Amino acid sequence: MKLVIQDISKRYRKDKYGLKDYSLTIENGILGLLGPNGAGKSTLMKIVATISQPTQGSIELDGHNILNEPDYIRRILGYLPQDFGVYANLNAYEFLEYIAAMKGVGGPGLRKRVEALLEGVNLTESAKMPIGTYSGGMKQRIGIAQALLNDPKVLIFDEPTVGLDPEERMRFRNLISDLAQNSIIILSSHIVSDIETIADEVAIMQSGTLVTKGTQADVVKQVEGKVFETVLESSRLTDFKAKHLVVNTSRQKEQVWVRYISDGPAEGSALSPATLEDAYLFLTHKNN
């Protein structure tokens, strides 16, 4: 499968863009979207999910323009929005069957599929309770289950790990790695480590534009040789921050350990291997 996003813009006011001239090609595998708040990640995902219309540009899935034929992607789409809700007075079975009807999924196997998914997200025991009584994490699992109802070929996960504990996050990552064999998966997260461990490719966004896109190695390469670590006296930290892009600090009595990005090392610094988080902070900072 191939999803081609070509020169997409979403303009709200004259000079206010949610996305600007955004182009991207995605093939089977996992694309991780990284970017600060307001970068346009959710806007891009909503446009691909056909619930928001761009001001200009085109999106083609296997040659079909989904802006003109939204139902082409809707049949094979699994979408987990960032801020979704549920009908509080339906139970998990009823809600998932309702969503299945929306997706055009039915037949005698539906009930079994719903049961299997509920088992997978470990909600079988509470499946007959109204969803209004669920905790935030349980609702998030219902969201994950609904995204998988229709054997999706395009999966869009907007901040999917919100509300999940570390073990659940690990299992979720396993799940989408499994799905990525035959599907396009677009995943956004504020947690760089979530993207780092599973994304085949990473796209960094800022202010509605694409800053960079490539494999993790390609992205990390842009900051290689620029990441250093040093130990300073605490009193020098403020001055140091003014001169360098500090990405991490750790206090140790009177001293402070500092990880920073710079074209050249400060005195007493040691070169450190770059990570995706370093690259992300470097590229978004550079763009500012």
Partner 1 sequence: MGAFYKIIISDYKQRTRSYAFLVTLAISLYAAYSFVPAPNAAYTTVRIGNYLGVQNAAWIGYVTAMMTSVFLSWIGFYLVSSGIKKDIDTGVGAIVATTPISNFNYLLAKTWSNFLVLLSIIACVFLMSITLFFLRSGAYPFQVTQFILPYLLVTIPSVFFTAALAVVAEVFLHRYTILMNIVYFFFFCALLSWQITVPSSFDVIGNKTVTTAMQQAVFQQYHEHGQMVSMGFIFGAKTHFHYFVFNGIQWTWQIIISRIIFVCFGFLLVFTSSTFFHRFEIEQKSKEKKKTKSAEIIPAAKPLRDIKLSALPPITPAYGILPFIRTELLMLVRKGPRWLWLINLGGMVALSLAPLTEAHQLVLPVLWFLQVGRWSDLATKEKTNRVHYFTYASYKPLSRLLFSQIIAGILMALALASPLLVRYMIGLQFLPILGIIMGGMFIVFFAVALGILSGGKKLFEILFFLFTYANVERVPFLDYYGGMNRGVNYTLLITGLIGFLACLSFMLRKIEISRV
Binding site for partner 1 (CB under 8 A): 46, 49-53, 71, 74-75, 77, 79, 81, 83-90, 94, 97-110, 112-113, 116-117, 119-123, 125-126, 129, 132-135, 137-138, 141, 144, 146, 148-151, 164-165, 167-168, 171-172, 174-175, 178-179
Q: Of 132 and 268, which has the nearer Cβ to partner 1? A: 132
CB of residue 42 to partner 1, shortest distance in Å: 10
Query: Is the Cβ–Cβ distance between 170 and 193 less than 8 Å?
Result: no
Q: In this complex, which beta carbon is closest to partner 1, that of residue 157 or of residue 280?
A: 157
Q: In the block, which residue shows the tokens 């509300």?
A: 163
CB of 90 to partner 1, least distance (A): 7
d(CA 19, CA 186): 17
Minimum CB separation of residue 201 from partner 1 in Å reads 21
Phi, psi of 28, rounded to the nearest 5 degrees: -45, 135
Q: Which of residues 52 and 255 has its CB atom nearest to partner 1 in the complex?
A: 52
Min. distance of Cβ 275 from partner 1 in angstroms?
Answer: 26
Contact 119, 92 (CB under 8 A): no
Dist. CA 150–CA 35, nearest whole Å = 29
Give the nearer residue to partner 1 in terms of CB position, either 128 or 251.
128
For 194, counting Cβ atoms within 10 Å of its Cβ (0-12 exposed, 13-18 middle, 19+ buried), the class is buried
Burial class (CB in 10 A: 0-12, 13-18, 19+), 288: exposed
- Closest CB 107 distance from partner 1, rounded Å: 3
**Cβ contact 282:246 at 8 Å:** no
Angle CA 248–251–257, to nearest 5: 50
Distance in Å, CB of 267 to partner 1, minimum: 47
Residue 67 or 246: the one with the smaller Cβ distance to partner 1 is 67
Q: Please identify, using beta-carbon distances, which residue of 38 and 106 lies nearer to partner 1.
A: 106
